Amino acid sequence: MPALPRGMFFALLFGGYGVLKCRGIFSERLAFVACGIACLLSTGAWLVVASGIQRCADYERAANIELFIADPNAPVPPPVHGLDMPPRWLRGWNALNIALFVVLIGDIVRSLLALLPAA
């Protein structure tokens, strides 16, 4: 699985634990919490779908290799693309997840910078 979506998922998952410990954040930052939950669920669903696509591609590659080895006169099978060349909709979905994650991190950074004393 790609490292960035997997890292985003775990960052949101473990960061969500901190949010749950701070009960006041739900009333003060409801939009932030809702976006975080949406990003977590969307990234998790993306990882499940991408895993299925990659698993199907791996099975097809293995079947092509077995057929190629079994018949010495068989032509070389065409390449099978999994996540090395994902469909356009999957790339778009991933880009949307990354954009939402960047917005969430930007909001956190903005909030932290607002806590710094004025110089």
Structural domain contains residue 15: no
Structural domain contains residue 14: no
Q: How many domains does the chain have?
A: 1
Could you tell me the two tokens for 18?
A: 């901190």
Structural domain contains residue 21: no
Write down the mean pLDDT value for the chain: 90
Residue 112 CA: distances (Å) to CA of 60, 64, 115: 49, 54, 5
Range of the domain at 43: 29-115
Decide if 51 contacts 1 (C-beta within 8 A): yes
Residue 89: predicted pLDDT: 95
- Amino acid at residue number 16: G
Structural domain contains residue 13: no
Structural domain contains residue 12: no
Residue 119: predicted pLDDT: 60
For 97-107, the pLDDT digits (tens) are 999 999 999 99
Structural domain contains residue 1: no
Helix 3-21, helix 88-115: angle, nearest 10: 40
Structural domain contains residue 90: yes
Q: Is the pLDDT of residue 51 over 80?
A: yes
For 70-85, the pLDDT digits (tens) are 988 888 888 888 888 8
Let me know the angle formed at the C-alpha of 42 by 94 and 8, rounded to the nearest 5 degrees: 65
Structural domain contains residue 92: yes
